[in-house]
């Protein structure tokens, strides 16, 4: 008997690890992301935020201070010397090392909560208009991505962002940036070369040395030195703010960088309308159109923020998110993308946002570090984000909707969010939803849209708590997915991540 158990365990480990995961119990770990501290433009210190998190029962906080808040406009051709710079508080201004240290200190004081460093980044911006006519426009400054899971402060210091001097790399193209050296050589040659003119007066010959050549030599050397300073530190970076819109290039470049370093990267607020119309600040016009379409044009990022500003075009049933998930199912895309809930937290109650207003509930295996009462490990939290093993919730005023369980059962076993499972008979979709109430029960029913491959296949309207088992007589044999879109009264919301099925 023992030998069979052993063989079965070995078989499970070798053949189908997912089976083990899917059949284990999970605990739910509320995590919040896009939290600004006073390291950038937030009001509270890292320590204050930790205290608030403890009070509110948040088990993981991902700090997302601005990576860089630096805009520069320089005059051609010495754009890096003759420039105006605005440099507001940011992680790179004060140093990623200090940011890490600060968060580590707080981690020691609050061992039961996981605190992670991360950033909100604007990899690119560009100028239009003429400075001397006083109408410059700063474009796309508010097109943002959230990054976390990079292990070393240097990985943040070197983020490929326009106006980050560490962004570039040494390459053969650096040689081009050293072109002013040729001016030094030419200047020196002009300076030392004796220029003589022979003047003949009758039988007398006079030799005149020209001072003009000396002056010319010195001028050429000085110009060379100026450009050498301008081009410092001679690192090559393919993007700058002076050559117009570069499409999604700089954003895809950042995504590749973060993936190579093992981090996670989410598009932030793709539909935020705040900067849609041009706004003037200190004589400069700022404008960032909404960018849901960029989610289709980029790939290999971890996901996007469905809340607050990513639902109307992206997260809605049949929207851009579903288009992308279908591309993945058809093999057009390498990876699926996950929905995330972001806070854009500046202070407790600022613009109606509190630290627990929008949460990402991570599903942690009980056998792992997610044991009740114990802190989850960084590796597991990042793994949940990478694999889509979480759902997004928005708290309502008097209650919270919780997705206690969401799984798909087939003859093959069970699958949870982010996983894939095979079926031959119609798959069984199971979910369990509960409400946590602060006031007497909210009686209005909640609405659950069950979505398959971007289409709503069933709408349930029921009071909480509820448990549903639905067998889907699916006709097509293509790979597809199921997800839940749940709305309740007073703005209570839950968005699950998808579970994939294949015949
Ligand atoms: Zn932002």
CA of 143 to the centre of ligand 1 (A): 7
CA of 50 to the centre of ligand 1 (A): 22
Task: Report residues near ion ligand 1: CB below 5 Å.
Answer: 144
Which 3 state secondary structure label does DSSP give 270? Answer: coil
Phi, psi of 365 (to 5 degrees): -70, 140
What average pLDDT does the segment 243-269 reach? 98
Share of the chain above pLDDT 70, in %: 89
Residues 138 and 252: their CA atoms lie apart, in Å, by 21
Residues 102 and 115: their CA atoms lie apart, in Å, by 10
Instruction: Write out the two tokens for 498.
Output: 């998808």
Which residue's structure tokens are 């899917």?
22
> Can you name the residues that pair with 62 across neighbouring β-strands?
33, 116
The residue among 418 and 15 whose pLDDT is bigger is 418
CA of 65 to the centre of ligand 1 (A): 10
CA of 232 to the centre of ligand 1 (A): 30
> Can you name the residues that pair with 280 across neighbouring β-strands?
285
Residues 47 and 110: their CA atoms lie apart, in Å, by 9
Spans of all domains in the chain: 2-68+88-168+237-394, 174-231, 397-503
| DSSP notation for 372-427 | TTSPPPHHHHHHHHHHT-EEEEE--SSEEEEEEEEEEEETTEEE-TT-EEE-SSPP
> Can you name the residues that pair with 287 across neighbouring β-strands?
139
Instruction: Tell me if 288 sits within 8 A of 140, measured CB to CB.
Output: yes
What is the structure's pLDDT at 44? 98
CATH code assigned to 2-68+88-168+237-394: 3.20.20.140
Residues 383 and 387: their CA atoms lie apart, in Å, by 6
- Residue 121's closest CA among 247, 31, 34? 34
Identical topology for domains 2-68+88-168+237-394 and 397-503: no
- Residue 343's closest CA among 118, 80, 14? 118
CA of 66 to the centre of ligand 1 (A): 8
What is the structure's pLDDT at 199? 64
CA of 120 to the centre of ligand 1 (A): 7
What is the structure's pLDDT at 475? 86
What average pLDDT does the segment 115-131 reach? 95
The Cβ-side half-sphere exposure at 108, using a 13 Å CA radius, reads: 5
CA of 73 to the centre of ligand 1 (A): 22
pLDDT 10s digits, 304-339: 999 999 999 999 999 999 999 999 999 999 999 999
How distant, in Å, are the alpha carbons of 28, 112, 273, 274, 362 from that of 403? Answer: 9, 23, 30, 31, 11
What is the structure's pLDDT at 132? 67
The residue among 11 and 352 whose pLDDT is bigger is 352
CA of 214 to the centre of ligand 1 (A): 55
CA of 490 to the centre of ligand 1 (A): 25
The residue among 27 and 386 whose pLDDT is bigger is 386
Q: What does the DSSP 8-state code read for residue 496?
A: P
* Mean of all residue pLDDT scores within the chain: 90
What is the structure's pLDDT at 454? 97
CA of 417 to the centre of ligand 1 (A): 27
Residue 142 has pLDDT above 80, yes or no: yes
CA of 106 to the centre of ligand 1 (A): 25
Q: Kindly report the number of other CB atoms within 10 A of residue 185's CB atom.
A: 12
CA of 343 to the centre of ligand 1 (A): 10
CA of 320 to the centre of ligand 1 (A): 20
Instruction: Tell me if 381 sits within 8 A of 396, measured CB to CB.
Output: no
For residue 190, what is the enclosing H or E element? helix 180-192
- Residue 90's closest CA among 80, 98, 79? 98
Fold of 397-503: Immunoglobulin-like (2.60.40)
């Amino acid at each position: 008997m023992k030998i069979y158990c052993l063989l079965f365990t070995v078989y499970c480990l070798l053949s189908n690890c997912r089976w083990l995961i899917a059949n284990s119990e999970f605990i739910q770990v509320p995590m919040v992301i896009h939290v600004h501290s006073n390291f950038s433009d937030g009001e509270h210190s890292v320590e204050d935020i930790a205290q608030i998190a403890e009070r509110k029962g948040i088990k993981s906080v991902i700090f997302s201070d601005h990576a860089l808040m630096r805009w520069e406009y320089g005059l051609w051709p010495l754009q890096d010397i003759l420039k105006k710079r605005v440099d507001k508080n940011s992680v790179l201004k004060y140093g990623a090392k200090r940011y890490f240290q600060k968060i580590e200190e707080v981690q020691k004081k609050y061992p039961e909560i996981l605190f992670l460093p991360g950033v909100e980044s604007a990899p690119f911006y560009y100028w239009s208009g003429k400075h001397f006519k006083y109408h410059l426009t700063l474009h796309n400054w508010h097109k943002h991505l959230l990054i976390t899971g990079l292990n070393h402060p240097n990985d943040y210091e070197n983020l490929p962002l326009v106006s980050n001097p560490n962004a570039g790399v040494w390459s053969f193209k650096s040689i081009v940036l050293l072109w002013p050296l040729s001016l030094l050589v030419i200047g020196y040659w002009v300076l030392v070369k004796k220029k003589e003119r022979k003047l003949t007066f009758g039988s007398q010959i006079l030799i005149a040395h020209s001072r003009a050549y000396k002056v010319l030599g010195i001028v050429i050397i000085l110009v060379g030195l100026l450009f050498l300073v301008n081009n410092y530190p001679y690192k090559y970076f393919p993007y700058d703010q002076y050559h117009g819109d570069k499409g999604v290039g700089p954003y895809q470049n950042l995504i590749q960088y973060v993936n190579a370093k093992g981090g996670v990267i989410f598009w932030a607020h793709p539909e935020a309308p705040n900067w849609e119309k041009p706004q003037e600040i200190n004589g400069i016009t700022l404008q960032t159109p909404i960018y849901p379409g960029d989610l289709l044009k980029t790939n290999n990022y971890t996901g996007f923020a469905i809340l607050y500003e990513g639902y109307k075009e992206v997260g809605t049933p049949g929207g851009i998110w579903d288009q992308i998930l279908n591309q993945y199912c058809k093999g057009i895309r390498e990876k699926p993308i996950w929905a995330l809930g972001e806070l854009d937290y500046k202070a407790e109650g600022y613009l109606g946002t509190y630290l627990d207003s929008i949460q990402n509930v991570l599903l942690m295996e009980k056998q792992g570090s997610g044991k009740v009462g114990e802190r989850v490990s960084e590796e597991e939290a990042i793994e949940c984000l990478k694999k889509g093993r979480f759902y997004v919730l928005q708290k309502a005023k008097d209650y919270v909707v919780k997705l206690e369980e969401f799984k798909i059962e087939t003859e093959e076993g069970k699958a949870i969010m982010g996983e894939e499972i095979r079926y031959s008979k119609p798959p069984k979709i199971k979910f369990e939803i509960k409400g946590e109430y602060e006031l007497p029960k909210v009686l209005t029913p909640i609405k659950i849209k069950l979505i398959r491959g971007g289409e709503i296949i069933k709408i349930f309207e029921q009071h909480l708590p509820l448990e549903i088992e639905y067998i889907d007589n699916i006709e097509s044999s293509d790979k597809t997915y199921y997800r839940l879109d749940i709305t309740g009264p007073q703005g209570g919301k839950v968005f699950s991540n998808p579970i994939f099925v294949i015949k």
